[in-house]
Amino acid sequence: MNETRRAILEAIADGPVSGPDVAESLGISRAAVWKQIDGLREAGFEIEGGSTGYELTGVAAYNAPAVEFGLEAPFSIDYHQSIGSTNDRARELATDGASDVGVLADEQTGSRGRLKREWTSPSGGVWLSIVLRPEVAPARASLYTLAAAVATARAAREAGVDARIKWPNDVVVPVDDEGGYRKLAGILTEMEGETDRIAWLVVGIGVNANVDAGALPAEATSIRAEAGDVDRRAFVQRLLEEFDDLRTDLEAVVPAWRELALTLGQRVRVERPTDELVGEAVDVTDSGALVVETDDGRETVSAGDCEHLRPT
């Protein structure tokens, strides 16, 4: 959003201010104020223009200016009504040198999960890919995935959903006391770098927000199905703010993750590229690896697919 528009919104956010007063405080003409107010209304900002002046009464829109306005985290937004994959777009921006951008779409037509699995992204969801250039070693990259899971779960909990985390990257809603769940959100992190330094990181977050469960794969759920529709603009802002807090305090990530984990204490089967493990998930390490107590002792798994098993 351009600086003039942002300044106008800030001026009229807390009550009516007359057009001439806005013009004077910003050092622009009254005609310029009218023009900018028109543009803001077109972008979905609800601005009343009574006898006492202009007042911002609501933000119904879900687009780049709407998400950027009032966002208390240093991300700019690259919004698309429909796109193939926000992760692909984010990768392009990352390759061009971008940082701290959130690519956001209402709908994706070619989105993917891990290992090139399909990801369903109908209109109404929150499909977001964050471009970062953190100055850390690649070994710490998984902390950003865990941070995204915590941020997503926290935002979903604020929206009234009993969101928990399944190792390593799923935000789920429990359906019983035995580790059963439905998947609410998934995370796909991609990166480029050298052994000792990340060049860029793209953290792709897919949340089934205002989507009918019938439009999703079986065993998935949505915020709509759990708690009713959410204001997506406010939801994305909360998610980005929580994520920003965690990425600037990486030590806080694993403790926060543990608090929300559904996997700890569960009997699990973890599929690794070459074998599988069965046992009880007892902890996560400081780098986010899962510690499983098997019949043959403790094993630590840094990547894989994890299934919760019914207690024996």
Binding site for ligand BT5 (CB under 6 A): 85-87, 108, 111-115, 117-121, 127, 129, 170, 183, 186-188, 204-206, 208, 216-217, 220
Longest dimension (CA), the chain: 77
Which is nearer to ligand BT5, 80 or 133 (by Cβ)?
Answer: 80
CB nearer ligand BT5, residue 217 or residue 228: 217
- Give CA separation, 277 vs 32, 184, 289, 305, 312, in Å: 66, 25, 14, 10, 16
Nearer to ligand BT5, 17 or 104 (CB): 104
Q: Angle, nearest 10°, between helix axes 3-12 and 30-42?
A: 90
State how far the Cα of 91 lies from the Cα of 97, in Å rounded to an integer: 10
Residue showing the smallest CB distance to ligand BT5 in the complex = 186
- Round to whole Å and give the CA distance between 223 and 14: 31
DSSP H or E run through 183 = strand 181-194
- Measured from the CB atom, the residue of 49 and 113 that comes closer to ligand BT5 is 113
Query: Shortest CA distance to 201 belongs to which of 247, 142, 132?
Result: 132
CB closer to ligand BT5, 134 vs 204? 204
Q: Which is nearer to ligand BT5, 103 or 254 (CB)?
A: 103
Backbone angles phi, psi at 296, to 5 degrees: -100, 10
Give the type of residue at 214.
G
Cβ at position 110, least distance to ligand BT5 in Å: 7
In the complex with ligand BT5, which residue's Cβ is closer, 37 or 101? 101
Smallest distance from ligand BT5 to CB 218, Å: 9
- The enclosing H or E element of 237 equals helix 232-247
Angle (nearest 5°) at CA 73 between 286 and 220: 65
> Within a 10 A sphere around the Cβ of 59, how many other Cβ atoms?
23
- Both structure tokens of 84: 């193939």
Q: Taking CA 166 as the corner, what is the angle to CA 245 and CA 164, rounded to the nearest 5 degrees?
A: 60
Separation in Å, CA 5 to CA 10, 33, 41, 293? 9, 9, 11, 57
Q: Which is closer to ligand BT5, CB of 71 or CB of 185?
A: 185
Q: Give me the least distance between CB of 246 and ligand BT5, in Å please.
A: 18
Quote the least distance from Cβ 265 to ligand BT5, whole Å: 21
Write down the least CB distance from residue 207 to ligand BT5, Å.
8
Q: Provide the minimum distance between the beta carbon of 151 and ligand BT5 in the complex, in angstroms, as a whole number.
A: 14
Min CB(289)–ligand BT5 separation in Å: 17
DSSP class of 112: B
Dihedral of alpha carbons 53, 58, 59, 60, sign:
negative
Least CB distance from residue 259 to ligand BT5, whole Å? 21
